[in-house]
Chains A and B, each alone.
Chain A
């Protein structure tokens, strides 16, 4: 049967909230493995007429047209969503909720960064927290990334649990000295004496014509640093869960957010939950091909999957979540089933997450592969300002469809 449509409306981009509607029938539950994200209530609405309990409005059945630069969008079935448990919120609100819960739970948790306090964060992730917890717990720092990141390291060594916000991930390049030498290495060079339970987070990735320096993908630069863990959130559910897990972790964790995903809307559970930092998320089970992706590209893949499913392909989509280390179990199980891999990432071709993932898969699962691993990455260019050029630097859904056709025949 397959799912004939995914509740992704097209085109509105950053303007206004976007949602993924709720799923209830057992058949629809096929879409999500109980192991991975059933708690998430991330949903794919079956648009075929037999679903019974839910009827998909015709406007969402657009299997044939793929819009570039699409991000998940509001669905029309808000009324159905309202009857279910849990609460709806946007991704940045989910991050804030996770942060607030952890700050209430442990008084040693504090935030520092530029404009996190009175301004509420440039993407409003820390809005209201300074009023609630005070100026010292939500510290507005001067513009000195290297130094305040080092300050977070020193505070973590002596007992606090700071969260460093990079206003844009790219600014953390200035903090690279501290991130590499101190966050990553200090636990080891001190012989295990000091722990550095910091969380370094911020929005990265290519946005909407933000220019080259605000469109960087730092996950590829940080992945080599030993001693760091790195995760990327892609939905409100995993954003909150990963934020909480990162704060509770004793390791230094880099939480990669994406500029274009902050307004993603989803219904998340009321009860407390924490995601696992090392586990990948099975977004859609399938048997033809394994698509590995993360962050914003997950949504491009899901966009492309609509078309692929209509054409009869059955892709298994995995959001790798943990960029360092890779969850080789989930990835391996998938490869053993499908024997073909496509990696879709936003990093540059050279030295990106995809490059490492490819090497890792070859090391571990060579015997299970029927075809060379395909990897779709961004072009090795500084992101241009012009909209058409920017579109061409990042992987778009039509390219994903084409790659799958090439891979699967």
Chain B
């Protein structure tokens, strides 16, 4: 899939130098579309993108391929065809991507408003600026595929198809929320849409995602269902990449060739901890080959680049070739959460990334490539505004959970509350379901 993306502004300001120096490619090739380093995805494609890749440390342990961290520009960067001749996406795809990102952004902006108006409480972590990663990956998935997220999960939920109404209601703590008001901002789950959470502790979602991928393999090999090919995408941040669960799961996923994609949303900051102050080797993509899977580094502010990598990683997983580690260089425009004063990040850094706003970039591309015109985009903007307004109205009008809901979902089998002094199961006591029984 050859495409041309307008080159991002030459990337690295001084303060970010360590981040970009990992590969010699970046220096001269920063004008290139693709920051593709290392670890090819064993591509079988013949020259649509004339990028040669070197497979390094792939899951196939028997054939040892040459290790080359750096490669010359010509080897790694395609000759860019002109815009008109090579389009990566169709008009429909472009509109879908645009709509999804605008939905994510508008929704999060509305969340901030609602929070400051006292409609939602607690810890709310907004995704502004990172939309390209969610849209880029989740829009490549089928409905049966799974997504596993962290506390910054509103936009992953929306991308995966959870209605905005259900997410907003959940944030307001109403009974019509996707988790009946019992989860909140950090715990979005949807069985229907394959969203496995929503986790407050970093790293604890990665094993869950690994388990979902294991289930696909189990279904194929033990239950003999050839059609089982659900892929799981696990999203997490740079801070998580220093956590044991990350490494343990990279090991197990590569060991058993599980159909999972580990997506690192490297926004350089874990609350107030800079990635460089916390990590001995800041290039997270390098850690993939150490465990036997390709490690890809991609510009996470560019949805088309992310999408290309995602399509390939998903195809690889679906084929049964195993996991991939994708590091997306991205940035959050707001603080870690709505309670974060965000004083440690330098204005220059913020400005740099604001200039690379993924929505503006896609908009520019779509307009310049002639795929869409202004009216199309404006109508999408309007549609999204209406969806978000409607979500807020719905959430406002929804009822709060009643007292009787308190004990309802503690156990799947409510016999787990045990046998009461009267000899009957506690859950059979009418007072129990009304929420007035003492437990």
Q: Are A250 and B217 in contact (CB under 8 A)?
A: no
Whether A156 sits at the interface, judged by CB under 8 Å, is: yes
Q: A107-B223, A148-B252 are in contact. Are A189 and B411 (CB under 8 A)?
A: no
Nearest CB to that of A184 among chain B residues? B410
Nearest CB to that of B182 among chain A residues? A191
- Give per-residue flags for B420-436: 1 if the beta carbon is below 8 A from chain A beta carbons, else 0: 11110110000000000
Give bound CA distance, A179 to B178, whole Å.
23
Q: Are B249 and A147 in contact (CB under 8 A)?
A: yes
Interface residues of A in 186-212 (CB under 8 A from B): 186-197
Q: Are B179 and A146 in contact (CB under 8 A)?
A: no
List, in ascending order, chain B residues with CB within 8 A of A195's CB: 412
Q: A160-B218, A226-B410 are in contact. Are A251 and B191 (CB under 8 A)?
A: no
Number of interface residues of A (CB under 8 A): 59
Q: Are B214 and A155 in contact (CB under 8 A)?
A: yes
- Give per-residue flags for B157-185: 1 if the beta carbon is below 8 A from chain A beta carbons, else 0: 00000000000000000000111111110
> Which residue from A134, A154, A365 sits with its C-beta under 8 Å from B421?
A365
Whether B207 sits at the interface, judged by CB under 8 Å, is: yes
> Which residue from B196, B422, B423 sits with its C-beta under 8 Å from A157?
B196
Nearest CB to that of A227 among chain B residues? B410
Whether A19 sits at the interface, judged by CB under 8 Å, is: no
Nearest CB to that of A162 among chain B residues? B211
Q: Which of B93-101, B198-206, B355-363 is found at the contact surface with chain A?
A: B198-206
Q: Are A329 and B421 in contact (CB under 8 A)?
A: yes
Q: Are B207 and A250 in contact (CB under 8 A)?
A: no
Q: A150-B204, A189-B182, A227-B411 are in contact. Are A155 and B189 (CB under 8 A)?
A: no
List, in ascending order, chain A residues with CB within 8 A of B412's CB: 187, 192, 195-197, 250-251
Interface residues of B in 186-235 (CB under 8 A from A): 187, 189-191, 196-201, 204, 206-215, 217-219, 221-223
Q: A147-B210, A158-B215 are in contact. Are A250 and B423 (CB under 8 A)?
A: no
> Which residue from B182, B196, B255 sits with its C-beta under 8 Å from A188?
B182
Shortest distance between the CB of B40 and any CB in chain A (Å): 27
Q: Are B197 and A151 in contact (CB under 8 A)?
A: no
Q: Are B419 and A278 in contact (CB under 8 A)?
A: yes
Q: Are A190 and B204 in contact (CB under 8 A)?
A: no
Shortest distance between the CB of A150 and any CB in chain B (Å): 2
Give bound CA distance, A137 to B214, whole Å.
11
Q: Are B208 and A153 in contact (CB under 8 A)?
A: yes
Whether B415 sits at the interface, judged by CB under 8 Å, is: yes
Shortest distance between the CB of A250 and any CB in chain B (Å): 4
Q: Are B208 and A190 in contact (CB under 8 A)?
A: no
Give bound CA distance, A326 to B214, whole Å.
35
Interface residues of B in 379-415 (CB under 8 A from A): 408-413, 415
Give bound CA distance, A110 to B219, whole Å.
12
Q: Are B208 and A182 in contact (CB under 8 A)?
A: yes
> Which residue from B191, B207, B245, B420 sits with its C-beta under 8 Å from A194?
B191
Whether B248 sits at the interface, judged by CB under 8 Å, is: yes
Whether A364 sits at the interface, judged by CB under 8 Å, is: yes
Give bound CA distance, A229 to B411, whole Å.
9
Number of interface residues of B (CB under 8 A): 61
Q: A136-B217, A154-B215 are in contact. Are A329 and B179 (CB under 8 A)?
A: no
Q: A134-B222, A160-B215, A193-B191 are in contact. Are A150 and B419 (CB under 8 A)?
A: no
List, in ascending order, chain A residues with CB within 8 A of B419's CB: 278-279, 325, 327-330
Give bound CA distance, A196 to B197, whole Å.
14
Give bound CA distance, A251 to B413, whole Å.
6
Nearest CB to that of B186 among chain A residues? A189
List, in ascending order, chain A residues with CB within 8 A of B184's CB: 189
List, in ascending order, chain A residues with CB within 8 A of B217's CB: 136
List, in ascending order, chain A residues with CB within 8 A of B408's CB: 192
Q: Are A190 and B189 in contact (CB under 8 A)?
A: yes
Q: Are B211 and A177 in contact (CB under 8 A)?
A: no
Whether B417 sits at the interface, judged by CB under 8 Å, is: yes
Whether B272 sits at the interface, judged by CB under 8 Å, is: no
Q: A150-B204, A191-B182 are in contact. Are A144 and B251 (CB under 8 A)?
A: yes
Q: Are B191 and A178 in contact (CB under 8 A)?
A: no
> Which residue from B196, B221, B426 sits with its C-beta under 8 Å from A154?
B196
Q: Are A147 and B245 in contact (CB under 8 A)?
A: yes
Shortest distance between the CB of A194 and any CB in chain B (Å): 6
Whether A332 sits at the interface, judged by CB under 8 Å, is: yes
Shortest distance between the CB of B118 and any CB in chain A (Å): 23
Whether B418 sits at the interface, judged by CB under 8 Å, is: yes
Give bound CA distance, A107 to B413, whole Å.
21
Shortest distance between the CB of B95 and any CB in chain A (Å): 31
B residues lining the A interface (CB < 8 Å) = 146, 148, 177-184, 187, 189-191, 196-201, 204, 206-215, 217-219, 221-223, 244-245, 248-249, 251-252, 255, 408-413, 415-423, 425-426
Apart from A186-B189, A193-B190, 7 more pairs, CB < 8 Å: A146-B207, A153-B208, A189-B197, A193-B189, A193-B191, A227-B410, A227-B416
A residues lining the B interface (CB < 8 Å) = 107-108, 110, 134, 136-137, 141-142, 144, 146-160, 177-178, 181-182, 186-197, 226-227, 229, 249-251, 277-279, 322, 325-330, 332, 364-365
| Complex A-B: 24 CB contacts under 8 Å | A107-B222, A107-B223, A134-B222, A136-B217, A146-B207, A150-B210, A151-B210, A151-B214, A151-B249, A157-B211, A158-B211, A159-B219, A181-B200, A188-B410, A189-B183, A190-B179, A191-B178, A191-B189, A192-B180, A193-B179, A227-B410, A249-B416, A250-B412, A278-B425
